[in-house]
Amino acid sequence: MHYEGNIIRPPSEANSILLQVTVGCSHNKCTFCGTYRGERFRIKPDAIIMQDIDFAAEYCRRQRRVFLCDGDALIIPQKRLLNILQTIRRKLPWVTRIGSYANTKSIAMKSDEELEELHANGLGILYMGLESGDDDTLKAINKRATAEKMITMGRRAKAAGFKLSITVILGIAGRERSQIHAEATGRVLSAIDPDYVGALSLMLVPNTPLYQDYREGRFPLLEPEEMLRELRTIFAHTHLSQGLFHANHASNYLPIRARLPRDREAVLDLIDKALAGQVPLKPEWLRGL
């Protein structure tokens, strides 16, 4: 396989065939993210992508899923992306699902018919970083999207048939807007009604604008208990018709896996016990990105 730069994928794609179709991220301006700093976004040549699919056809016959790396494969022009999906289906017929990151820009660039066409050709799940439902926080982290746009694009993805997985970040709003961010995030998640929600706890990355703000005293990093209170508020304000809410990423202090609405009260009780000191939190040295 031909890999360039940093390769990232969602935790749920750990056992997937990682097919790199783009290098970097088409946005690459979020203040908290250092994954692609200095990396110019580009779509890889079709010839290289096809070689990698041929490699997977020979050596990856036990893997049932494909994840299209890197930061935003959905932004590939429709004709080229369809060709990639159709080639995967033809040469890797045992693959049951193809996934990709997406953002509001890339979803907006596709018509409803194009999104449905991609889904019909095997693209089954999209991963979207909401981070926050609070417009002031979204602006501060340079997300280049409003809460309303997040809702609109998330709903369009769902309407086209995709499974939708959304990530949010505890602590991303700092201390002053912590609860505002938490309540707004729950409202936006409820409005989109994704299939999966993943809550991560902020871990500052050196050489990013947000890290620099922290070093110079402009951004406070929340304490574990504050992160937990924020998680409780997000969870309490999130109402999904039938979805999984995860907070079991390596960065989190309290692992949570809940099926909503079934597990709502049990999880709120668990968080309350942790806040009361009755349930231990993950020690700092065990946390990771």
Q: Domain span at residue 160?
A: 11-280
Condensed to tens digits (0 to 9), the pLDDT of residues 156-195 reads 999 999 999 999 999 999 999 999 999 999 999 999 999 9
In a domain, 6, yes or no: no
What pLDDT, on a 0 to 100 scale, did the predictor assign at position 5?
87
In a domain, 191, yes or no: yes
In a domain, 289, yes or no: no
In a domain, 4, yes or no: no
What pLDDT, on a 0 to 100 scale, did the predictor assign at position 190?
98
Q: Which band of pLDDT confidence, cut at 50, 70 and 90, is reported for residue 250? A: confident
Condensed to tens digits (0 to 9), the pLDDT of residues 80-128 reads 999 999 999 999 999 999 999 999 999 999 999 999 999 999 999 999 9
CATH number for position 167: 3.20.20.70
Q: What is the mean pLDDT of residues 263-267?
A: 97
In a domain, 118, yes or no: yes
In a domain, 76, yes or no: yes
Condensed to tens digits (0 to 9), the pLDDT of residues 195-211 reads 999 999 999 999 999 99
Condensed to tens digits (0 to 9), the pLDDT of residues 38-84 reads 888 999 999 999 999 999 999 999 999 999 998 889 999 999 999 99
Mean pLDDT of the chain: 95
In a domain, 157, yes or no: yes
Q: Which band of pLDDT confidence, cut at 50, 70 and 90, is reported for residue 16? A: very high
What pLDDT, on a 0 to 100 scale, did the predictor assign at position 289?
63
Q: What SS3 string covers the chain?
A: CCCCCCCCCCHHHCCCEEEECEECCCCCCCCCCCCCCCCCCEECCHHHHHHHHHHHHHHCCCCCEEEEECCCHHHCCHHHHHHHHHHHHHHCCCCCEEEEEECHHHHHCCCHHHHHHHHHCCEEEEEEEEECCCHHHHHHCCCCCCHHHHHHHHHHHHHCCCEEEEEEEECCCCCCCHHHHHHHHHHHHHHHCCCEEEEEECCCCCCCHHHHHHHCCCCCCCCHHHHHHHHHHHHHCCCCCCEEEECCCCCCCCCCEEEECCCHHHHHHHHHHHHCCCCCCCCHHHCCC
In total, how many domains does the chain have? Answer: 1
